Amino acid sequence: MGWLWAIIVGLVLGLIAKLLIPGKQHSPLWLTTIFGMLGAIVGNSIARAFGVDSTRGIDWSRHVFQIVAAVIIVYVGDMLYLATLGKRKQRT
């Protein structure tokens, strides 16, 4: 059941990140979900490093770290996806 929650959290984080990034992103939904999952993992690691990985109630600080990491990963990942897509179109 943990993998299902990872996919759901990745999808939500990826979509939030896409909403926060200005302009159009070209990466498909499955790739955005993977980027969101990576953002959750990186955000949790950063929160753990700052000592805020588990608090009472809702872990708002951990979620902020996750969203910031997801925005960065979606932005960079989309740029790489677009560059790869452009190289593919040039060859054909």
For the stretch 21-61, pLDDT in tens is 998 888 999 999 999 999 999 998 998 898 886 777 778 88
Q: Is 70 exposed, middle or buried (0-12, 13-18, 19+ CB in 10 A)?
A: buried
Nearest Cα residue to 73 out of 26, 45, 34, 44: 34
Domain range annotation of the chain: 2-91
Per-residue pLDDT at 73 = 96
pTM of the model: 0.85
